[in-house]
A and B are shown apart, each in its own frame.
Chain A
Amino acid sequence: MTAYLEVQGVNKRFGGLQALQDCSFTVGQGRITCLVGPNGAGKTTIFNAITGALRPDSGHVAFRGAALSGLSTQAIVRAGIARSFQNLRLYAELTVLDNVASAIPGQFGEEPLGALFRPFRTAAGQRRTRAAAMDTLAHVGLADRAGTHVRNLSYGEQKLLCIARVLATGAKLLLLDEPTSGLSGAALEAVLGLLRRLRDEGRTQLIVEHNTRVVMAVADEVLFLHQGHLMAQGTPAAITTDPALAEIYFGGVL
């Protein structure tokens, strides 16, 4: 069986810093894989390498058996991988609905000529897009906030919207960068619920996560990254109870 996503021997150097060092791992289809590790372990860098935002110095990434090397970010999204950002990067001056609608692929009139010279077809397409965006919003539980501007959303709602935007691209593999950071209580539960539901629908997720309780609650598989290198891979229980890893993870602090 080939892995759903395969990262093989990826290296990346920024000046004097080796951000990724012979980094290799696989992600299984339909599972939630959590990526953990201390700050600066290269978690976000590996996201950038997978999505084409960053070109690795060496090594390769394959998705469903096909190599992604050299593909543009756009092509990678089309292939079925989309990401969210740790610092959200929502469009603050746009409505919630437009944030989601803007990510829907294949819209008519998304270039000037169609928009200006086929206005009716554009408008019809626009209606379909809106309906699809509403479905996605309903899916994450933000349907009643569709017309609001992003800056008026609570932080938890913004986190949900980030996931909605990733879903709207139609991606099969979701790369979520700290989807629960800064959340607690009901807002945290809402996001966790959504993550599980998405897994049940068959979407594969690779999640950067710091919170051990969250990892325990949702992860099927945990990858431990340290200094740009995969230290360990295993079940949540196995990873979180490994004293050596805990020493690395908390070493600097405790």
Chain B
Amino acid sequence: MDYFYSYATLAAIYVVLGLSTNLLVGIVGIFSVSQAAIFGVGAYVTGYCLVNEVVGFVPAMLLSALACLLVNVVVTLPALRVSGDYFVVTSFGIQLLATAVFTNWTGATGGASGLPGVPPASLLGTELVEAWQNLALALGLMALCCLLFHLLLRSPYGRLLRAVREDELAVAASGKGVLRAKVGAAALAGVFGGVGGSLYAVFLSFVDPSSFDLNGSVLLLTMVVVGGARTLLGSVIGPFLLLALPQVLTMVEIPTTAAAAARQGLYGALLIAFMVFRPQGLAGEKL
């Protein structure tokens, strides 16, 4: 059963991260390709705190959330000045910079070798060692984040964010603060990213830069788009589906030594098919 549990735990973590990406990219329309960097900051902060026994798990997660909040606000600020394609590459630059920091700031991140031996999460004095306990923790936090996301979407703030995506000038002309709205969304997306990263660190017990590179950001975007941007359901379906796909594909018998490459190719082909047949995503709003 550990296999299924570890799959579900990982998927639940990616749902939290997907919500973060969906909020920024789908709802507010800030096309960030550096969300994996935020996720990484969350994982490293928790990893560092626990490995060096700075604080316990719960405060470490809170610290991760706070750190990601601040970092995400800072890296989203260029969006206030640079827009569209220009922001995408700016964000891309930020992602590469983050990867360089994760890889080379050996004192804090362990460098390219990563941080091994992150102790498991502990709640109320109990260490969550078993796979089902990890799953319960991840699902619990996922549910909490989903609830927050839902409340947000239906609140006036959610409406304001969607309006910002549609037309910033009109929002400003209605007497609403565009800057504050965006900063708030970036902060919230940062908190989600921090919680997800923190869970990832304790679940894998190992943090290294390979999970937080540009491919990681692209994976998050893909999850959101395949699931369906701008909706809660989409952010849940996307990660569960895209993490299951490679697993299902390993069940497909391919009788050559190039099997793994063939499966990755098949994964690419499925992505194309999803986009051609359902461009709005499986649970997305009809565009």
Which of B148, B152, B162, B185 makes the CB contact (< 8 A) with A91?
A: B162
Q: Is A4 interfacial (CB 8 A cutoff)?
A: no
Cβ-defined contact, A110 with B176, below 8 A? yes
Q: Using Cβ atoms and an 8 Å threshold, which residues of chain B touch A73?
A: 172-173, 175
A92-B166, A112-B184 given; A165·B156 CB < 8 A: no
In the complex, A93→B162 CA distance in Å?
Answer: 8
Q: Is B180 interfacial (CB 8 A cutoff)?
A: yes
Q: Using Cβ atoms and an 8 Å threshold, which residues of chain B touch A101?
A: 156, 159
Q: Using Cβ atoms and an 8 Å threshold, which residues of chain A touch B187?
A: 112
Cβ-defined contact, B162 with A129, below 8 A? no
Cβ-defined contact, A94 with B157, below 8 A? no
Cβ-defined contact, A74 with B159, below 8 A? no
Interface residues in A, total, Cβ within 8 A: 38
Q: Is A45 interfacial (CB 8 A cutoff)?
A: no
Q: How far is the CB of A204 from chain B (nearest CB, A)?
A: 17
Cβ-defined contact, A119 with B151, below 8 A? yes
Cβ-defined contact, A115 with B156, below 8 A? yes
Interface residues in B, total, Cβ within 8 A: 32
In the complex, A81→B163 CA distance in Å?
Answer: 20
Q: How far is the CB of A148 from chain B (nearest CB, A)?
A: 14
In the complex, A112→B163 CA distance in Å?
Answer: 15
Scan residues 156-210 of chain B and give those whose CB is less than 8 A from a CB of chain A.
156-160, 162-163, 165-167, 169-177, 180-181, 184-185, 187-188
Q: Is B155 interfacial (CB 8 A cutoff)?
A: yes
Cβ-defined contact, A102 with B152, below 8 A? no
Q: Is A90 interfacial (CB 8 A cutoff)?
A: yes
Q: Which residue of A lies closest to B185 (CB)?
A: A112
Which of A83, A93, A103, A115 makes the CB contact (< 8 A) with B155?
A: A115
Scan residues 62-104 of chain A and give those whose CB is less than 8 A from a CB of chain B.
73-74, 76-78, 82-83, 85, 89-94, 98, 101-103
Which of A53, A92, A98, A115 makes the CB contact (< 8 A) with B172?
A: A53
New A-B contacts (17) at CB < 8 Å, excluding given A91-B163, A116-B155: A53-B173, A83-B173, A89-B167, A90-B167, A90-B170, A91-B170, A93-B165, A93-B287, A94-B162, A101-B159, A102-B156, A103-B176, A109-B155, A112-B185, A115-B157, A116-B151, A122-B155
Identify 27 residue pairs between A and B in the complex whose beta-carbon atoms are under 8 Å apart, listed by A's number.
Answer: A51-B173, A74-B177, A76-B175, A90-B167, A91-B167, A92-B166, A93-B166, A94-B159, A94-B163, A94-B166, A102-B156, A102-B160, A102-B171, A102-B174, A110-B155, A110-B156, A110-B160, A112-B187, A114-B155, A116-B151, A125-B156, A126-B155, A126-B156, A129-B156, A165-B170, A168-B174, A169-B175
